[in-house]
Amino acid sequence: MAADLERLLASSAYRPVVDRTYGFDELCAAHTHVDTGRKVGSVVVRAPQAKRAAT
C-alpha cells in the first residue's frame, strides 16, 4: 500500500487537499477550525523547527 501511494505521489496522480495551514502557536485556532465541520481537506499544523547548534 505504501508503494502504491509513493507511485501516485511521484506521478502527480494524487494531490492532497490542504484546507489551511497553521503555525504551532496557532494550534487552538486549528482545532477551532476543524471543530466547525466546515473544513475541506486536511488542516496542517507546522511544527517549530529545532535550532541548530553552532559548530
42 is a domain residue: yes
Q: What is the pLDDT of residue 5?
A: 84
Q: How many structural domains are present in the chain?
A: 1
Q: What is the pLDDT of residue 12?
A: 85
pLDDT band per the 50, 70, 90 thresholds, residue 55: low
39 is a domain residue: yes
21 is a domain residue: yes
Spatial separation of the C-alpha atoms in residues 48 and 31, rounded to whole Å: 17
5 is a domain residue: no
pLDDT band per the 50, 70, 90 thresholds, residue 1: confident
* Residues of the domain holding 25: 15-48
43 is a domain residue: yes
6 is a domain residue: no
32 is a domain residue: yes
45 close to 18: Cβ distance less than 8 angstroms: no
> b vs e for 20-43, b when ≥16 Cβ sit within 10 Å of the residue's Cβ?
bebeeeeeeebeebeeeeeeeeee
User: What are the tens digits of pLDDT across the range 5-50?
Assistant: 889 889 988 888 999 999 999 999 999 999 999 999 999 999 988 8
